[in-house]
Structure 1
Amino acid sequence: MRLSIWIPGILGILGPIVIPISHMVVLWFYWQNYARFVDRRFCSCSCWDTVFKGTYESGIASYKHLYFNATENTMKIWILTVIAIIALYECAKHLISLMILKSVRYSMIFLFCLSIFSHYYGWWAFLNYYNDDFYSQWNHQMFFTITELLSTSVVFHLANLENIVTPRKVLSVVGIAILHIVASGFDQFIANVFKGEGLLHQVHINLNGIRFYLQNFYNINQQIYMPFTFPITPYKTLETLSTSPMHTNIILTCTHTDIHTKHTYTIQ
């Protein structure tokens, strides 16, 4: 088998592996001075139902790296996580395949990479809502997640050079980006950061939100600029048509090639 068949799958799986590990490393780096010391020899957990341990362990459990109870919310967390991992893997594999085939808009690849953090944040937020039974921000996060999915779907679609850029597609991405900037800016960022009304973790989260704003600003700039950037590939030929031994026609042909859609227009 050709190596190109295996490369998309191998590289595609790196995302689900690397992103959560990077998340844990970054959190540990910023929060290590505020974290509680855990003594594994004497700590215990009385909130664990030990269903998945069966007869091996019951009552108050000893230290575990991961606790999970056999509840409805645990099932929801598992389903959400599986869907997120498979979606990221399949999207990454498809985009890498397009890169190998040289049928990709790299600007859209960059936009897609910028949007990964937003979706990862959404997955992490919903996981914590289910895990903590905390739902006061559910609708708020659902709005951002759904609109971000719509925007990323358009970007993912436009990453393929065979898919034509249209004003409707561009407007959908730009409109959602502007909506996110306005909504998130007035919602939490100004109050928590500029006015100093947020706690330490809220300020930290909203400072990370600067990346979210930069992503949306880039979305707006890229989508507005892209439809008007169709470089012309000049190509001139002299074609001689002999209609008679004494008469010759010289035709100047100029072709315009759209590098995004690969459509060629000929003007004579």
Structure 2
Amino acid sequence: MLPVAGGRPSRPSRGAPLLWRICAGAAPRLLAFAVAALLPPLHVFCLWLFWQNYSRQVDRSTCTCSCWDTVFKGTYESGIASYKHFYFNATENTFKIWLMVAGFLVILYECVRWLASLWLTARLRCSMALLFFSSLFSHYYSWWIYINYYNDEFYSQWNHQLIFTITELISTCVVLWLSSLEHSVTLLPAMLISMIGVYHVIASSRDQFVLNVLQGEGHAHQVVRDIGFMIPDLLHIIVPLFNLRRRSFYVMW
């Protein structure tokens, strides 16, 4: 990798060595795969850190899966089955969960691959990459919440969460667009990101942040969660405005 001013790699030329061109093509895919593959295990590990003292040991020799319909095992197992590391029921909600899992991982893979490609070709706007990666927690939380809604058949908070999810997706789409140096940070997209950030800060504060964090009434995992929401929202307010201030004039997009 050839360094250039600002710490970014240089754009590979047509005459670049073959090994460099291969690495430049494979690196974004490998990085994207690593993020998509390791994020769920990291999440479960964090849950284990918080809940290890409250979890229970499972006796695999005597434990049974009495809530499992055994459909995906076919004729190999039926009735009340023995212990399984992983099992699922053949239901409509399981189908919806699978679509969400596959869709999330594919989209995450493509987003990281896009950003890595921009970086390797010296076209990445680092401030927008910062916003994207800071928002991963919020997107992952929404994804996990919807999976649990379907899994538990609990829908009373669905519409409330949906508002956050839609606005987060809009903001992230604009952030990804502006991640390329080929796209200027103009007034309209910058203000859209910032205004969504303002909305999230106000809504989150009224929802749980003030109670759990500022008043100290939340459990440790609630405090970490709410701070994990608030910091990216504040960054989404500040960073686009900072990018606008660096421009000598504003051009409507």
Name the residue aligned to 2:56. 36
Give deviations 1:203-249, integer Å, cap 9, x for gaps. Answer: 52343220211111111111111112149xxxxxxxxxxxxxxxxxx
What is the distance in 1 between the residues matched to 2:130 and 2:217? 34
Partner residue of 2:34 out of 14, 18, 32: 14
Partner residue of 2:243 out of 189, 204, 226: 226
What is the distance in 1 between the residues matched to 2:186 and 2:35? 30
What is the distance in 1 between the residues matched to 2:57 and 2:136? 32
Q: What are the equivalent positions in structure 2 for 1:137-216 lying under 5 Å apart? A: 137-194=157-214, 200=219, 204-216=221-233
Please tell me whether residue 119 in structure 1 is matched to residue 139 in structure 2: yes
Give deviations 1:40-88, integer Å, cap 9, x for gaps. Answer: 1111121100001111111111111112000000000000111100101
Name the residue aligned to 2:96. 76
What is the distance in 2 between the residues matched to 1:76 and 1:206? 30
> In the alignment, residue 235 of structure 2 is paired with which amino acid?
Y
What is the distance in 1 between the residues matched to 2:165 and 2:94? 21
What is the distance in 2 between the residues matched to 1:176 and 1:119? 14
Unpaired segments ≥5 residues, structure 1: 232-257, 259-268
SS in 1 for 2:198: helix
Please tell me whether residue 62 in structure 1 is matched to residue 82 in structure 2: yes
1:29 positional shift = 1.3
What is the distance in 2 between the residues matched to 1:34 and 1:145? 30
> In the alignment, residue 221 of structure 1 is paired with which amino acid?
I
Give deviations 1:166-208, integer Å, cap 9, x for gaps. Answer: 111011101110100111111123334555666x4xx523432
1:137 positional shift = 0.8
What is the distance in 2 between the residues matched to 1:44 and 1:22? 27
Write out the 4+ residue segments of structure 1 that deviate beyond 3 Å after TM superposition.
Answer: 191-198
Name the residue aligned to 1:102. 122
Identity %: 49
Unpaired segments ≥5 residues, structure 2: 1-17
Residues 15, 89 of structure 1: 8 Å contact kept: yes
Give deviations 1:25-48, integer Å, cap 9, x for gaps. Answer: 111111100101211111112110
What is the distance in 1 between the residues matched to 2:176 and 2:131? 9
Give the TM-score normalised by the residue count of structure 2.
0.86
Residues 212, 222 of structure 2: 8 Å contact kept: no
Residues 151, 176 of structure 1: 8 Å contact kept: yes
What is the distance in 2 between the residues matched to 1:193 and 1:210? 8
- What's the Cα RMSD here? 1.7
Residues 213, 226 of structure 2: 8 Å contact kept: no
Give deviations 1:79-100, integer Å, cap 9, x for gaps. Answer: 0111100101011111111111
| Higher RCO (Cα < 8 Å, 6 or more apart) | 2
Name the residue aligned to 1:263. none
Aligned length: 229
Structure with more strand by fraction: 1
> In the alignment, residue 103 of structure 2 is paired with which amino acid?
I
What is the distance in 1 between the residues matched to 2:182 and 2:216? 49
In our comparison, the structure showing a higher alpha carbon Rg is: 1
